[in-house]
Homo-oligomer: A and B are copies of this chain.
Amino acid sequence: MSDQVYIEDLGQHVDQEVTLKGWLYNKRSKGKLHFLIVRDGTGIAQTVVFKGDVSPELFELAGHLTQEASIIVRGQVRADERAPGGYEIGLTGLELVAAPTEEYPIQPQEHGTGFLMDHRHLWLRSRKQNAILRIRSEVIFAIHEFFHLRGFTHVDSPVFTPNACEGTTNLFEVDYFDDKAYLTQSGQLYAEASAMAFGKVYCFGPTFRAEKSKTRRHLTEFWMVEPEMAYGTLEDVMQLSEAFLCHIVARILEKRRPELEVLERDLAKLEAIQAPFPRLHYDDAVKMLNEGGIDFEWGGDFGAPDETLISEKYDRPVLIHHYPRAIKAFYMKPDAENDKLSLSVDVIAPEGVGEIIGGGQREDDLQVLEAKIAEHGLPEEAFKWYLDLRRYGSVPHSGFGLGVERTVAWICGVEHVRECIPFPRMLYRLTP
């Protein structure tokens, strides 16, 4: 592969002879010209085959290529504004590596989503899917980079857990030799243990929810990153969330602009993602909903229409904080000034994407937490190790979780999270 040039790097080879190794994405012919649109996974490039420049055999070969034929192309790179990507290749050499054995099933015409999902292993080759997942790759790197630069230690939480983190519903059960295990729904409790050992940590892995919901926001398997900070407060979590999202969006704007253009994403909407983000107390969010004509009662959790109404008031993510204790998990620390509220924060993305971050400050008092576990009817024995974190060197601490696929959906302007993960798993989708 030593002499191979990638399409994303063509700009560094203008007026040079290069070799591309890829596949035929599309083709047009016009008299003495064939236009071969070649893809190599990093972009697409137009290759021009002029009858006068090549042998008759080569011209004929080019004319008979079919979609997704694997080809090695040699030619001269020319800057050309009209060409996709801004460069064109004047073909001088062409090698057919393998012709498709059958007609390629995904044609330029529209297919239904079910059909495309059944062919996900091939659909990934389409321009839009390629752009979304190249952005996803960059989002993941930006996440690691952000925490690495800030001195967080990456400490993985386990996937196999002996019990439920927040109740036993929606859990996937596994036969673990002679025992039962459950697939993690959140790495947080383990991240708390890690924070007591490493100070600032994050875990980052797949998480699993056996939810029977079939919405555009749900996957049974999705990736979540969860930072946790010893000696961190609610304020620290709010500041970290803000800096984190700004970093991710800035990185995508810097590195993945061609892909955002493929997706016809409104860049101004992403360029607006700058600190500070608006902050909204839960009480004020309720008022906003009521003033917006939604009959919402204090104490409830926000649904998708509520989140949409709130997010539409702003051009950047909004931090809603101090949710009622009753609707948050048992480990949330109550507000010292108002016992009905918790030191929690959710971040709602703009443009109706909904919640992408949930977090807050954790209960660090042993007796309060023991009482909470009893009150929620959770088995104390299973939480013994978690309570140990309050027995030995308890400190205030806080953190959050960010769902990767929802974040990618927001940045890409894509409606459904199923396109934001390479091989989505949903209620009725376990293949390919």
Which segment of A52-60, A176-184, A411-419 sits at the interface? A176-184
Q: Are A41 and B230 in contact (CB under 8 A)?
A: yes
Query: Are A388 and B122 also in contact (CB < 8 A) when A41-B199, A393-B68 are?
Result: yes
Interface string of A189-206 (1 = CB under 8 A from B): 010011111111100011
| Chain B residues closer than 8 Å to A221, beta-carbon distance | 158-160
Chain B residue at smallest Cβ distance from A148: B141
Chain A interface residue number, banded = 35 or more
Q: In the complex, A98→B395 CA distance in Å?
A: 7
Interface string of A120-132 (1 = CB under 8 A from B): 0110110001100
**Least Cβ distance of A69 to chain B in Å?**
6
Give the interface SS of chain A, mostly helix, strand, loop or mixed. mixed
Q: Are B130 and A198 in contact (CB under 8 A)?
A: yes
**Least Cβ distance of A193 to chain B in Å?**
4
Interface string of A217-257 (1 = CB under 8 A from B): 00011010000011111001000000000000000000000
Query: Are A155 and B422 also in contact (CB < 8 A) when A102-B391, A122-B392 are?
Result: yes
Chain B residue at smallest Cβ distance from A180: B430
Chain B residue at smallest Cβ distance from A364: B98
Contacts A41-B201, A70-B393 known; list 7 others, CB within 8 Å: A23-B196, A41-B199, A134-B198, A158-B423, A162-B430, A179-B430, A205-B206
| Cβ-closest 10 pairs across A and B | A41-B199, A385-B432, A124-B197, A121-B193, A41-B198, A68-B393, A137-B154, A158-B423, A70-B393, A98-B394
> Can you name 5 A-B residue pairings with CB atoms under 8 Å?
A70-B394, A100-B393, A160-B425, A172-B176, A177-B428
